[in-house]
Amino acid sequence: MENLLREKMNENSHGNDIRVARKLSDIEMKETVNRLRMNEYTNTPQMTSSGISGVTMDAVSYVQKALLPGQTNPEAAATFARMIESSLKSWFTQFNFFLHNLAQLRFTGDQSDGELLSFVPRTYTMQQEGQLTSVQVHGYQKRYDPEKYYMYILRIQRKGQADPTYLFRSYKEFCEFYQKLCIHFPLAKVASLPSGMSVGRSNIKQVADKRRADIEKFLLSLFKMAPEISQSDLVYTFFHPLLRDQQNADIHLRKVKVGNWWAERKILENVQCGQIKISLHYTRGTLSVMIHHARGLPKVANAQEPNTYVKVYLKPDPTKATKRKTKVVKKNCHPSFMEMLEYRMPLEVIQDRALEATIWNHDTLQENEFLGGIHLPLSHLDLTRETIEWFPLGSLR
Protein backbone atom coordinates (compact mmCIF):
# COMPACT_ATOMS: atom_id res chain seq x y z
CA MET A 1 0.00 0.00 0.00
CA GLU A 2 2.75 2.43 0.99
CA ASN A 3 4.79 1.62 -2.11
CA LEU A 4 1.78 2.10 -4.35
CA LEU A 5 0.99 5.44 -2.74
CA ARG A 6 4.60 6.60 -2.95
CA GLU A 7 4.64 5.68 -6.65
CA LYS A 8 1.48 7.73 -7.19
CA MET A 9 3.01 10.76 -5.45
CA ASN A 10 6.10 10.59 -7.64
CA GLU A 11 4.18 10.41 -10.91
CA ASN A 12 4.22 14.05 -12.02
CA SER A 13 3.61 13.75 -15.73
CA HIS A 14 0.79 12.52 -17.90
CA GLY A 15 3.11 10.19 -19.80
CA ASN A 16 4.29 8.51 -16.61
CA ASP A 17 0.70 7.89 -15.52
CA ILE A 18 0.03 6.16 -18.81
CA ARG A 19 3.17 4.04 -18.61
CA VAL A 20 2.21 2.86 -15.11
CA ALA A 21 -1.30 2.03 -16.32
CA ARG A 22 -0.04 0.11 -19.33
CA LYS A 23 2.24 -2.04 -17.14
CA LEU A 24 -0.75 -3.46 -15.32
CA SER A 25 -3.18 -5.91 -16.84
CA ASP A 26 -6.88 -5.20 -16.52
CA ILE A 27 -7.18 -7.68 -13.67
CA GLU A 28 -4.14 -6.38 -11.81
CA MET A 29 -5.38 -2.81 -12.20
CA LYS A 30 -8.82 -3.65 -10.86
CA GLU A 31 -7.42 -5.62 -7.90
CA THR A 32 -4.98 -2.84 -7.03
CA VAL A 33 -7.62 -0.11 -7.21
CA ASN A 34 -10.13 -2.14 -5.21
CA ARG A 35 -7.50 -2.86 -2.54
CA LEU A 36 -6.75 0.84 -2.24
CA ARG A 37 -10.44 1.72 -2.20
CA MET A 38 -11.21 -0.78 0.57
CA ASN A 39 -8.29 0.35 2.75
CA GLU A 40 -8.40 4.10 2.14
CA TYR A 41 -9.74 5.08 5.58
CA THR A 42 -8.11 2.41 7.73
CA ASN A 43 -4.62 3.22 6.43
CA THR A 44 -4.81 7.02 6.42
CA PRO A 45 -3.39 7.59 9.94
CA GLN A 46 -0.59 5.09 9.38
CA MET A 47 0.32 6.63 6.04
CA THR A 48 0.45 10.25 7.26
CA SER A 49 2.55 9.30 10.31
CA SER A 50 4.90 6.92 8.50
CA GLY A 51 7.55 9.57 7.83
CA ILE A 52 7.63 8.84 4.10
CA SER A 53 8.77 11.88 2.15
CA GLY A 54 5.93 13.51 0.22
CA VAL A 55 3.17 11.48 1.91
CA THR A 56 1.18 14.25 3.57
CA MET A 57 -2.47 14.58 4.54
CA ASP A 58 -3.09 16.57 1.34
CA ALA A 59 -1.41 13.89 -0.77
CA VAL A 60 -3.41 11.08 0.85
CA SER A 61 -6.64 13.08 0.47
CA TYR A 62 -5.87 13.61 -3.22
CA VAL A 63 -5.43 9.88 -3.79
CA GLN A 64 -8.59 9.07 -1.81
CA LYS A 65 -10.67 11.44 -3.94
CA ALA A 66 -9.12 10.09 -7.14
CA LEU A 67 -10.21 6.57 -6.14
CA LEU A 68 -13.88 7.66 -6.33
CA PRO A 69 -15.03 6.40 -2.90
CA GLY A 70 -18.62 7.44 -3.66
CA GLN A 71 -18.90 4.90 -6.48
CA THR A 72 -19.26 1.14 -6.40
CA ASN A 73 -16.37 -0.99 -7.64
CA PRO A 74 -17.96 -1.62 -11.08
CA GLU A 75 -18.81 2.07 -11.49
CA ALA A 76 -15.28 3.10 -10.54
CA ALA A 77 -13.78 0.46 -12.86
CA ALA A 78 -15.83 1.81 -15.78
CA THR A 79 -14.76 5.38 -14.97
CA PHE A 80 -11.08 4.43 -14.76
CA ALA A 81 -11.33 2.55 -18.07
CA ARG A 82 -12.78 5.64 -19.79
CA MET A 83 -10.01 7.81 -18.31
CA ILE A 84 -7.29 5.47 -19.58
CA GLU A 85 -8.88 5.32 -23.06
CA SER A 86 -9.11 9.12 -23.14
CA SER A 87 -5.48 9.48 -22.10
CA LEU A 88 -4.28 7.03 -24.75
CA LYS A 89 -6.07 9.06 -27.44
CA SER A 90 -4.44 12.35 -26.46
CA TRP A 91 -1.87 13.84 -28.84
CA PHE A 92 0.77 14.00 -26.10
CA THR A 93 0.60 10.26 -25.38
CA GLN A 94 0.70 9.31 -29.05
CA PHE A 95 3.63 11.67 -29.69
CA ASN A 96 5.43 10.24 -26.66
CA PHE A 97 5.00 6.67 -27.93
CA PHE A 98 6.14 7.80 -31.39
CA LEU A 99 9.40 9.15 -29.92
CA HIS A 100 9.95 5.93 -27.98
CA ASN A 101 9.41 3.90 -31.15
CA LEU A 102 11.94 6.04 -33.03
CA ALA A 103 14.48 5.52 -30.28
CA GLN A 104 13.83 1.78 -30.30
CA LEU A 105 14.25 1.61 -34.08
CA ARG A 106 17.53 3.48 -33.85
CA PHE A 107 18.76 1.21 -31.08
CA THR A 108 17.91 -1.97 -32.94
CA GLY A 109 19.32 -0.53 -36.16
CA ASP A 110 22.65 0.19 -34.50
CA GLN A 111 22.81 -3.38 -33.26
CA SER A 112 22.24 -4.99 -36.67
CA ASP A 113 24.55 -5.31 -39.64
CA GLY A 114 21.94 -3.94 -42.08
CA GLU A 115 21.54 -7.23 -43.94
CA LEU A 116 18.94 -9.06 -41.91
CA LEU A 117 15.39 -9.02 -43.25
CA SER A 118 12.40 -8.87 -40.96
CA PHE A 119 10.98 -12.16 -42.26
CA VAL A 120 14.25 -14.16 -42.18
CA PRO A 121 15.63 -14.97 -38.72
CA ARG A 122 19.33 -14.92 -39.59
CA THR A 123 21.90 -14.19 -42.31
CA TYR A 124 22.80 -16.77 -44.99
CA THR A 125 25.73 -16.83 -47.42
CA MET A 126 26.42 -18.19 -50.90
CA GLN A 127 28.77 -20.78 -49.41
CA GLN A 128 25.95 -22.10 -47.22
CA GLU A 129 23.17 -22.00 -49.79
CA GLY A 130 24.86 -22.81 -53.09
CA GLN A 131 25.41 -20.37 -55.95
CA LEU A 132 22.29 -19.07 -57.69
CA THR A 133 22.32 -19.64 -61.45
CA SER A 134 18.75 -18.60 -62.30
CA VAL A 135 15.88 -16.79 -60.56
CA GLN A 136 12.61 -16.38 -62.45
CA VAL A 137 9.08 -15.33 -61.56
CA HIS A 138 7.04 -18.48 -62.15
CA GLY A 139 3.67 -16.89 -61.30
CA TYR A 140 1.64 -15.71 -58.35
CA GLN A 141 -1.03 -16.98 -55.99
CA LYS A 142 -4.00 -15.20 -54.48
CA ARG A 143 -4.26 -15.79 -50.72
CA TYR A 144 -6.49 -14.84 -47.81
CA ASP A 145 -5.08 -14.44 -44.29
CA PRO A 146 -7.60 -12.97 -43.57
CA GLU A 147 -7.40 -10.15 -46.16
CA LYS A 148 -6.66 -10.86 -49.80
CA TYR A 149 -3.05 -10.53 -50.94
CA TYR A 150 -0.72 -12.01 -53.57
CA MET A 151 2.38 -14.17 -53.18
CA TYR A 152 4.86 -14.35 -56.06
CA ILE A 153 6.31 -17.75 -56.92
CA LEU A 154 10.03 -17.76 -57.69
CA ARG A 155 11.71 -20.58 -59.61
CA ILE A 156 15.23 -21.01 -58.24
CA GLN A 157 18.15 -22.87 -59.87
CA ARG A 158 21.41 -23.43 -58.00
CA LYS A 159 24.78 -24.65 -59.17
CA GLY A 160 25.12 -28.40 -58.74
CA GLN A 161 21.38 -28.96 -58.16
CA ALA A 162 19.48 -30.61 -61.00
CA ASP A 163 15.96 -29.81 -59.83
CA PRO A 164 14.65 -26.28 -59.26
CA THR A 165 13.12 -25.13 -56.00
CA TYR A 166 10.24 -22.72 -55.56
CA LEU A 167 9.96 -19.85 -53.08
CA PHE A 168 6.98 -17.66 -52.14
CA ARG A 169 7.53 -13.95 -51.50
CA SER A 170 5.10 -11.05 -51.16
CA TYR A 171 5.52 -7.70 -52.88
CA LYS A 172 5.98 -6.08 -49.48
CA GLU A 173 8.93 -8.39 -48.82
CA PHE A 174 10.41 -7.52 -52.21
CA CYS A 175 10.13 -3.82 -51.32
CA GLU A 176 11.93 -4.42 -48.03
CA PHE A 177 14.65 -6.32 -49.90
CA TYR A 178 15.03 -3.49 -52.41
CA GLN A 179 15.24 -0.86 -49.65
CA LYS A 180 17.92 -2.83 -47.81
CA LEU A 181 19.90 -3.12 -51.05
CA CYS A 182 19.74 0.65 -51.52
CA ILE A 183 20.96 1.20 -47.96
CA HIS A 184 23.76 -1.35 -48.16
CA PHE A 185 24.83 -0.54 -51.72
CA PRO A 186 23.86 3.13 -52.27
CA LEU A 187 25.74 3.39 -55.61
CA ALA A 188 24.14 0.30 -57.18
CA LYS A 189 21.80 1.12 -60.08
CA VAL A 190 19.36 -1.72 -59.64
CA ALA A 191 15.89 -1.39 -61.19
CA SER A 192 13.56 0.21 -58.68
CA LEU A 193 10.43 -1.28 -57.17
CA PRO A 194 7.58 1.21 -56.70
CA SER A 195 6.46 1.56 -53.12
CA GLY A 196 3.58 -0.58 -51.92
CA MET A 197 1.61 2.63 -51.22
CA SER A 198 -0.94 3.33 -53.96
CA VAL A 199 -4.26 5.05 -54.54
CA GLY A 200 -7.22 2.70 -54.81
CA ARG A 201 -7.26 -1.06 -54.44
CA SER A 202 -3.81 -2.65 -54.48
CA ASN A 203 -4.65 -6.35 -54.13
CA ILE A 204 -6.32 -6.89 -57.49
CA LYS A 205 -5.19 -8.91 -60.52
CA GLN A 206 -4.24 -5.88 -62.63
CA VAL A 207 -1.93 -4.57 -59.92
CA ALA A 208 -0.50 -8.07 -59.35
CA ASP A 209 0.34 -8.34 -63.07
CA LYS A 210 2.08 -4.96 -63.08
CA ARG A 211 4.04 -5.81 -59.96
CA ARG A 212 5.11 -9.10 -61.50
CA ALA A 213 6.63 -7.18 -64.42
CA ASP A 214 8.38 -4.81 -61.98
CA ILE A 215 9.81 -7.76 -60.03
CA GLU A 216 11.08 -9.40 -63.23
CA LYS A 217 12.93 -6.18 -64.21
CA PHE A 218 14.30 -5.88 -60.69
CA LEU A 219 15.65 -9.45 -60.65
CA LEU A 220 17.13 -9.10 -64.14
CA SER A 221 19.07 -5.99 -63.15
CA LEU A 222 20.07 -7.44 -59.77
CA PHE A 223 21.92 -10.42 -61.21
CA LYS A 224 23.74 -8.16 -63.71
CA MET A 225 25.36 -6.37 -60.79
CA ALA A 226 28.92 -7.04 -59.69
CA PRO A 227 29.47 -10.14 -57.52
CA GLU A 228 29.89 -7.90 -54.47
CA ILE A 229 26.16 -7.17 -54.83
CA SER A 230 24.62 -10.13 -56.66
CA GLN A 231 26.42 -12.65 -54.43
CA SER A 232 26.13 -10.68 -51.20
CA ASP A 233 24.81 -12.16 -47.98
CA LEU A 234 21.73 -9.95 -48.24
CA VAL A 235 20.77 -11.50 -51.60
CA TYR A 236 21.28 -15.06 -50.38
CA THR A 237 19.38 -14.34 -47.20
CA PHE A 238 16.37 -13.19 -49.24
CA PHE A 239 16.42 -16.34 -51.38
CA HIS A 240 16.88 -18.72 -48.44
CA PRO A 241 14.03 -21.30 -48.33
CA LEU A 242 11.65 -20.68 -45.42
CA LEU A 243 9.30 -23.07 -43.68
CA ARG A 244 6.31 -21.62 -45.54
CA ASP A 245 8.03 -22.45 -48.85
CA GLN A 246 7.83 -26.12 -47.88
CA GLN A 247 4.34 -25.95 -46.41
CA ASN A 248 2.84 -24.13 -49.43
CA ALA A 249 4.70 -26.03 -52.11
CA ASP A 250 1.82 -26.44 -54.60
CA ILE A 251 2.82 -23.92 -57.27
CA HIS A 252 -0.12 -24.80 -59.52
CA LEU A 253 -2.80 -23.42 -57.20
CA ARG A 254 -4.12 -20.03 -58.32
CA LYS A 255 -5.96 -19.34 -55.07
CA VAL A 256 -5.28 -20.41 -51.47
CA LYS A 257 -8.03 -19.87 -48.91
CA VAL A 258 -8.14 -20.45 -45.19
CA GLY A 259 -10.80 -23.04 -44.38
CA ASN A 260 -14.05 -21.35 -43.36
CA TRP A 261 -14.70 -23.36 -40.21
CA TRP A 262 -17.03 -20.60 -39.00
CA ALA A 263 -19.66 -21.76 -41.50
CA GLU A 264 -19.20 -25.34 -40.32
CA ARG A 265 -19.54 -24.25 -36.68
CA LYS A 266 -22.90 -22.57 -37.33
CA ILE A 267 -24.33 -25.90 -38.50
CA LEU A 268 -23.90 -27.32 -35.03
CA GLU A 269 -26.62 -26.68 -32.44
CA ASN A 270 -26.02 -25.35 -28.93
CA VAL A 271 -22.30 -24.97 -29.41
CA GLN A 272 -20.48 -23.13 -26.62
CA CYS A 273 -17.66 -20.96 -27.83
CA GLY A 274 -16.06 -18.33 -25.64
CA GLN A 275 -16.98 -16.66 -22.37
CA ILE A 276 -18.18 -13.28 -21.17
CA LYS A 277 -17.38 -11.63 -17.84
CA ILE A 278 -20.28 -9.74 -16.27
CA SER A 279 -20.93 -8.26 -12.83
CA LEU A 280 -24.38 -7.41 -11.45
CA HIS A 281 -25.35 -5.39 -8.39
CA TYR A 282 -28.61 -3.77 -7.28
CA THR A 283 -28.08 -0.63 -5.21
CA ARG A 284 -29.79 2.73 -4.78
CA GLY A 285 -32.79 1.58 -6.81
CA THR A 286 -30.68 0.67 -9.85
CA LEU A 287 -29.47 -2.62 -11.31
CA SER A 288 -25.93 -2.05 -12.55
CA VAL A 289 -24.73 -4.50 -15.20
CA MET A 290 -21.01 -4.18 -15.87
CA ILE A 291 -19.84 -5.73 -19.15
CA HIS A 292 -16.16 -6.43 -18.50
CA HIS A 293 -14.56 -8.64 -21.16
CA ALA A 294 -15.10 -11.58 -23.49
CA ARG A 295 -12.57 -14.24 -24.40
CA GLY A 296 -12.18 -17.12 -26.80
CA LEU A 297 -14.65 -15.75 -29.35
CA PRO A 298 -14.76 -17.49 -32.74
CA LYS A 299 -13.40 -15.93 -35.89
CA VAL A 300 -15.90 -15.04 -38.58
CA ALA A 301 -15.92 -15.37 -42.38
CA ASN A 302 -12.49 -15.73 -44.02
CA ALA A 303 -10.95 -16.30 -40.57
CA GLN A 304 -11.24 -12.64 -39.61
CA GLU A 305 -11.35 -11.55 -35.99
CA PRO A 306 -14.81 -10.17 -35.18
CA ASN A 307 -15.86 -6.56 -34.57
CA THR A 308 -17.79 -7.28 -31.40
CA TYR A 309 -20.41 -5.57 -29.30
CA VAL A 310 -22.70 -6.79 -26.52
CA LYS A 311 -26.49 -6.42 -26.54
CA VAL A 312 -28.39 -6.77 -23.24
CA TYR A 313 -32.10 -7.22 -22.45
CA LEU A 314 -34.11 -7.96 -19.32
CA LYS A 315 -36.52 -10.60 -20.62
CA PRO A 316 -39.45 -10.76 -21.05
CA ASP A 317 -39.41 -7.46 -22.89
CA PRO A 318 -41.82 -7.39 -25.87
CA THR A 319 -41.29 -3.64 -26.46
CA LYS A 320 -37.47 -3.83 -26.20
CA ALA A 321 -37.51 -1.06 -23.61
CA THR A 322 -34.58 -2.64 -21.74
CA LYS A 323 -32.33 -2.93 -24.77
CA ARG A 324 -28.78 -1.70 -24.09
CA LYS A 325 -25.66 -1.94 -26.27
CA THR A 326 -21.94 -1.47 -25.74
CA LYS A 327 -19.50 0.12 -28.11
CA VAL A 328 -17.94 -1.94 -30.92
CA VAL A 329 -14.47 -3.35 -30.25
CA LYS A 330 -12.80 -3.93 -33.60
CA LYS A 331 -10.97 -7.08 -34.70
CA ASN A 332 -10.49 -8.86 -31.41
CA CYS A 333 -11.38 -12.36 -30.22
CA HIS A 334 -10.72 -11.24 -26.63
CA PRO A 335 -12.40 -7.81 -26.46
CA SER A 336 -12.51 -5.58 -23.40
CA PHE A 337 -15.65 -3.42 -23.09
CA MET A 338 -15.65 -2.07 -19.51
CA GLU A 339 -19.08 -0.47 -19.88
CA MET A 340 -21.77 0.03 -17.27
CA LEU A 341 -25.42 -0.53 -18.26
CA GLU A 342 -28.07 0.60 -15.79
CA TYR A 343 -31.74 -0.25 -15.18
CA ARG A 344 -33.68 1.98 -12.78
CA MET A 345 -36.45 -0.43 -11.80
CA PRO A 346 -37.85 -1.82 -8.53
CA LEU A 347 -36.01 -4.87 -7.23
CA GLU A 348 -39.16 -7.02 -7.21
CA VAL A 349 -39.69 -6.29 -10.92
CA ILE A 350 -36.09 -7.10 -11.83
CA GLN A 351 -36.19 -10.38 -9.92
CA ASP A 352 -38.96 -11.58 -12.24
CA ARG A 353 -36.77 -10.98 -15.29
CA ALA A 354 -33.87 -12.83 -16.92
CA LEU A 355 -30.72 -11.13 -18.13
CA GLU A 356 -30.01 -11.94 -21.76
CA ALA A 357 -26.58 -10.82 -22.98
CA THR A 358 -25.56 -11.64 -26.54
CA ILE A 359 -22.34 -10.94 -28.44
CA TRP A 360 -22.51 -9.92 -32.09
CA ASN A 361 -20.10 -9.32 -34.92
CA HIS A 362 -20.80 -5.87 -36.38
CA ASP A 363 -20.75 -5.80 -40.18
CA THR A 364 -21.40 -2.51 -41.98
CA LEU A 365 -22.32 -4.23 -45.25
CA GLN A 366 -24.17 -7.35 -44.14
CA GLU A 367 -26.40 -8.57 -41.34
CA ASN A 368 -24.68 -8.69 -37.95
CA GLU A 369 -23.62 -12.20 -36.94
CA PHE A 370 -24.55 -13.84 -33.64
CA LEU A 371 -21.50 -15.18 -31.79
CA GLY A 372 -23.08 -16.47 -28.59
CA GLY A 373 -24.99 -15.42 -25.52
CA ILE A 374 -26.19 -16.16 -22.00
CA HIS A 375 -29.66 -16.34 -20.43
CA LEU A 376 -29.47 -15.69 -16.68
CA PRO A 377 -32.63 -15.81 -14.52
CA LEU A 378 -32.16 -13.03 -11.97
CA SER A 379 -34.35 -14.73 -9.38
CA HIS A 380 -31.46 -17.14 -8.81
CA LEU A 381 -29.12 -14.36 -7.65
CA ASP A 382 -28.82 -12.20 -4.55
CA LEU A 383 -28.71 -8.90 -6.39
CA THR A 384 -28.08 -6.90 -3.21
CA ARG A 385 -24.56 -8.35 -3.24
CA GLU A 386 -22.22 -7.92 -6.19
CA THR A 387 -21.98 -10.97 -8.45
CA ILE A 388 -19.02 -11.10 -10.81
CA GLU A 389 -18.36 -14.15 -12.95
CA TRP A 390 -17.23 -15.56 -16.29
CA PHE A 391 -20.24 -17.10 -18.07
CA PRO A 392 -19.90 -19.61 -20.94
CA LEU A 393 -21.50 -18.50 -24.19
CA GLY A 394 -23.99 -20.71 -25.95
CA SER A 395 -26.67 -20.70 -28.62
CA LEU A 396 -29.92 -19.10 -27.47
CA ARG A 397 -31.86 -20.02 -30.59
Kindly state whether residues 251 and 273 are assigned to the same domain: no
> At 388, is the pLDDT very low, low, confident or very high (cuts 50, 70, 90)?
very high
**C-alpha of 253 from chain center:** 31
Kindly state whether residues 143 and 202 are assigned to the same domain: yes
Domain assignment present for 120: no
Measured from the Cβ of residue 206, the count of other Cβ atoms closer than 10 Å reads 8
Kindly state whether residues 7 and 85 are assigned to the same domain: yes
Domain assignment present for 237: yes
> At 337, is the pLDDT very low, low, confident or very high (cuts 50, 70, 90)?
very high
Kindly state whether residues 250 and 130 are assigned to the same domain: yes
- pLDDT tens-digit series, residues 97-155: 767 766 665 554 444 444 478 888 889 999 999 999 999 999 998 876 546 778 999 99
CATH number at residue 359: 2.60.40.150
> At 10, is the pLDDT very low, low, confident or very high (cuts 50, 70, 90)?
very low
Domain assignment present for 23: yes
Write out the residue range of the structural domain in which residue 207 sits: 126-256
- pLDDT tens-digit series, residues 291-312: 999 999 988 877 788 999 999 9
Domain assignment present for 91: yes
The count of structural domains within the chain is: 3
Kindly state whether residues 103 and 146 are assigned to the same domain: no
> At 253, is the pLDDT very low, low, confident or very high (cuts 50, 70, 90)?
low
Kindly state whether residues 336 and 388 are assigned to the same domain: yes
How far from 277 is each of 123, 361, 376, CA to CA, in Å? 46, 17, 13
Kindly state whether residues 296 and 368 are assigned to the same domain: yes
d(CA 219, CA 235): 11
Mean pLDDT of the chain: 78
> Of 239, 256, 273, which residue is a domain's last?
256
What is the structure's pLDDT at 204? 81
> Of 208, 223, 256, which residue is a domain's last?
256
What is the structure's pLDDT at 37? 57
Residue 271 has pLDDT above 50, yes or no: no
Could you tell me which of 251, 363, 211, 392 has the C-alpha nearest to residue 302?
363
d(CA 217, CA 138): 14
Kindly state whether residues 273 and 372 are assigned to the same domain: yes
